[in-house]
């Protein structure tokens, strides 16, 4: 039994040391398998986990959506008296440039109490913790009342269509669960010496849009005769890039702001105005931005649909006025909105830019998603954290990016992003290492995360 709380025997310390070694080895091993996506090559990592689990009598299934794009699934069968729970993670990572790192990002080095490497936080550490939890459940002979499923999947960093999305479409019976625990939250935000643990309950949707502006070509020396597509696109970029859409407080964000406000006096003043009068949001965030720009802009993106121009192309030669110019926009929408409505709103903004000379193409779109906080699993997470850290608190969070949880919310699962971690480096520093340089996690955090997850899973399913 792995319990840090209430079980202070020597036996427990011994067990924790063993868990520390094992989960650290698992993570190091995973980091050493380079799953940079593209191309991914997650099959090797999936096989590595299957071998590890099968040594302890788990039956694993390996799936490949395309050659090399592997995912692994295993299950502890329950009696069906309680809801099923899926422990989800992704095996792929984003690229790392070894020249920028102080260690080889694919060596899985353990030094100074940390495991270093690409994926150490996002999210091979969670994979290692979840595998460890499964093994401990079996070793402790836990007989769950609900199925406990583990799925470590390919392709999340490129949208998940060759991983979680593919599994949900092609093998739903293997991964469907009433509840899902995944990435996206869990890192404690330190405020006034207290920790606020986040649980991701919502994420924004995506609308990636290509707009093509049309014109009439002509000689660059007589601009008035031609119709310059760059000038038309300039108006489009100006309109969309500076647009501040209506502010909307979704339940997760409302609850998140209340949670932060409880712990901090200044935040309380600022946020209570915001909570009472969302329309005043920008004014308040502009003021907050003078003290903490990153925080203010993060909050602003949680309050509304955003549109950012990200690519622009136009023109072929110095002296030709171009008849075409195209740009790509990364638009993110809130729960409650949908891509079709967002597109309509965007077209509405461009009414006076000659709509008939603009072409719209949706590159990719996905719905936003949100899970209710009012569930026994959410409460169980709160309860367990309270035992580990009586002074800490919990707040739900909306992710402005996306995770694989959206595939599961779509088929009716309640999903929580919860990868429990202390902020044992400065909070901002930790965030910078994710998709950045010198990504690492302390072995203490690995043990902490494993212990917290184990307690949640065991209590929730028995
Ligand atoms: Zn991730």
**So what's the pLDDT on residue 397?**
97
List the beta bridge partners of residue 194.
191
Judge if 356 and 381 occupy the same domain. Answer: no
pLDDT beyond 90 at 49: yes
Q: Give the environment of ion ligand 1: residues with CB less than 5 A.
A: 122-123, 183
Lowest mean pLDDT among 68-82, 418-432, 446-460: 418-432
Residue range 115-138: mean pLDDT, rounded: 98
Last residue of a domain, one of 309, 344, 366: 366
Q: How confident is the model at residue 33 (pLDDT cuts 50, 70, 90)?
A: very high
Last residue of a domain, one of 312, 339, 366: 366
Residue range 229-256: mean pLDDT, rounded: 95
Judge if 281 and 316 occupy the same domain. Answer: yes
Residue 300 lies in a domain: yes
Residue 2 lies in a domain: no
Judge if 111 and 260 occupy the same domain. Answer: no
Residue 100 lies in a domain: yes
CA 374 from chain centre, in angstroms, equals: 21
Last residue of a domain, one of 333, 366, 399: 366
What is the whole-number distance in angstroms between the Cα of residue 219 and the centre of ligand 1?
49
Judge if 233 and 301 occupy the same domain. Answer: yes
What is the whole-number distance in angstroms between the Cα of residue 117 and the centre of ligand 1?
14
Judge if 136 and 183 occupy the same domain. Answer: yes
Judge if 220 and 192 occupy the same domain. Answer: no
**So what's the pLDDT on residue 12?**
64
Q: How confident is the model at residue 284 (pLDDT cuts 50, 70, 90)?
A: confident
What is the whole-number distance in angstroms between the Cα of residue 434 and the centre of ligand 1?
9
Residue 47 lies in a domain: yes
- Give per-residue burial for 223-259: e unless 16+ CB within 10 Å, then b: eeebbbbebbbbebbebbeeeebebbbbbbbebbbeb
Round to whole Å and give the CA distance between 333 and 401: 10
What is the whole-number distance in angstroms between the Cα of residue 273 and the centre of ligand 1?
34
**So what's the pLDDT on residue 1?**
45
The CATH number of the domain holding residue 452 is 3.40.630.10
pLDDT beyond 80 at 244: yes
Residue 1 lies in a domain: no
Q: Identify whether the C-beta of residue 350 lies closer than 8 Å to the C-beta of residue 239.
A: yes
Judge if 47 and 195 occupy the same domain. Answer: yes
Q: What is the total count of domains within the chain?
A: 2
Judge if 188 and 243 occupy the same domain. Answer: no
Q: Identify whether the C-beta of residue 91 lies closer than 8 Å to the C-beta of residue 127.
A: yes
What is the whole-number distance in angstroms between the Cα of residue 155 and the centre of ligand 1?
10
pTM for the complete prediction? 0.91
Judge if 208 and 343 occupy the same domain. Answer: yes
The CATH number of the domain holding residue 222 is 3.30.70.360
**So what's the pLDDT on residue 5?**
47
pLDDT digits (tens, 9 = 90+) for 265-283: 777 877 788 888 888 889 8
What is the whole-number distance in angstroms between the Cα of residue 445 and the centre of ligand 1?
17
Judge if 280 and 292 occupy the same domain. Answer: yes
Distances (CA, A) of 110 to 29, 31, 212, 318, 425: 11, 11, 50, 55, 17
- Radius of gyration of the CA atoms of the chain, in A: 24
Judge if 152 and 279 occupy the same domain. Answer: no
Domain that holds residue 449: 10-200+369-461
Residue 5 lies in a domain: no
What is the whole-number distance in angstroms between the Cα of residue 129 and the centre of ligand 1?
14
**So what's the pLDDT on residue 6?**
45
What is the whole-number distance in angstroms between the Cα of residue 403 and the centre of ligand 1?
7
Judge if 180 and 298 occupy the same domain. Answer: no
Residue range 173-183: mean pLDDT, rounded: 98
Helices (H), 312-462: 339-349, 376-388, 405-410, 427-433, 443-461
What is the whole-number distance in angstroms between the Cα of residue 337 and the centre of ligand 1?
24
């Amino acid at each position: 039994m792995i319990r840090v709380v209430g079980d202070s025997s020597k036996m427990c310390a011994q067990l924790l040391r063993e868990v520390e070694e094992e989960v650290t080895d698992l993570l190091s091993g995973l980091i050493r398998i380079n799953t940079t996506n593209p191309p991914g090559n997650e099959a090797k990592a999936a096989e590595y986990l299957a071998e590890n689990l099968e040594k302890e009598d788990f039956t694993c299934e390996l799936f490949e959506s395309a050659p090399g794009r592997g995912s692994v699934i295993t299950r502890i069968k329950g009696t069906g008296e309680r809801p099923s729970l899926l422990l989800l993670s992704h095996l792929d990572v984003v690229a790392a440039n070894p020249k920028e790192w102080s260690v080889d990002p694919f060596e899985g080095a353990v030094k100074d109490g940390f495991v270093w490497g690409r994926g150490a936080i996002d999210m091979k550490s969670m994979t290692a913790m979840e595998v460890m939890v499964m093994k401990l459940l079996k070793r402790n002979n836990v007989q769950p009342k609900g199925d406990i499923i583990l799925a470590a999947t390919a392709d999340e960093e490129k949208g998940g269509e060759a991983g979680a999305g593919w599994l949900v479409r092609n093998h739903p019976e293997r991964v469907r669960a009433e509840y899902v625990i995944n990435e996206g939250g869990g890192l404690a935000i330190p405020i006034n010496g207290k920790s606020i643990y986040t649980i991701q309950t919502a994420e924004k949707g995506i609308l990636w849009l290509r707009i093509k502006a049309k014109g009439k070509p002509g000689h660059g020396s007589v601009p008035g005769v031609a119709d310059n597509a760059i000038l038309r696109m300039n108006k489009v970029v100006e309109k969309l890039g500076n647009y501040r859409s209506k502010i909307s407080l979704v339940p997760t964000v409302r609850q998140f702001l209340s949670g932060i406000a409880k712990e901090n006096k200044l935040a309380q003043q600022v946020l209570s105005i915001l909570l009472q009068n969302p329309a005043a949001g920008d004014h308040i965030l502009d003021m907050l931005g003078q003290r903490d720009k990153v925080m203010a802009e993060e909050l602003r993106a949680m309050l509304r649909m955003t549109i950012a121009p990200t690519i622009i192309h136009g023109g072929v030669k110095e002296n030709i006025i171009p008849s075409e110019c195209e740009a790509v926009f990364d638009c993110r929408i809130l729960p409650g909105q949908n891509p079709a409505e967002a597109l309509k709103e965007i077209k509405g903004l461009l009414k006076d830019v000659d709509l008939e000379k603009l072409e719209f193409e949706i590159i990719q779109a996905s719905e936003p998603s949100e899970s209710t906080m009012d569930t026994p699993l959410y409460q169980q997470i709160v309860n367990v954290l309270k035992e580990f850290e009586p002074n800490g608190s919990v707040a739900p969070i909306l992710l402005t990016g996306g995770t694989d949880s959206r595939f599961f919310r779509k088929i009716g699962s309640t999903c929580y992003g919860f990868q429990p971690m202390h902020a044992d480096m400065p909070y901002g520093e930790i965030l910078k290492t994710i998709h950045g340089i010198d990504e690492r996690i302390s072995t203490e955090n690995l043990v902490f995360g494993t212990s917290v997850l184990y307690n949640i899973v065991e209590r929730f399913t028995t």
